[in-house]
Amino acid sequence: MLNKLSQSQRLQLMKFVCSFAWADLEVQEEERSFVKKMMGKLKLDETEQQQVAGWLEVPPPPEEVDPSAIPAEHRQLFLETMREVISADKVLDPEERENLTLFEQLLR
């Protein structure tokens, strides 16, 4: 399914992944590892990888992570990926749970 994403959709996915990694205001090492693996799976080039690395240092602006901008055919993939990133550190904080619930509602 990841291979069906356009390059801009791959970056959009990573922007959401990074914003979810920031949900508890701290990016854990396991979340960083997850992001690194995702960049490999998505075959991001060097420039794109640098952009994603920047989002791990400073979260993407909220206006750039609008669930309504996700194409309907990719919403399930995005949702599943967000579940994976917030469970990467084996700790589900209330903020992460709340963000996931809200994200799920906004995708409907």
Mean pLDDT of the chain: 94
Alpha-carbon dihedral angle through residues 85, 61, 93, 37, given to the nearest 10 degrees: 20
- Residue 3 confidence (pLDDT): 86
- Residue 46 confidence (pLDDT): 97
The structure's pTM equals 0.92
Determine the 3-state secondary structure of 77 from DSSP. Answer: helix
- For the record, the structure tokens of 59 come out as 């979260």
Q: Which residue segment(s) compose the domain that 27 sits in?
A: 2-107
Write the DSSP symbol of residue 60. P
What's the domain count of the chain?
1
Low-confidence ranges of the chain (pLDDT < 70): none
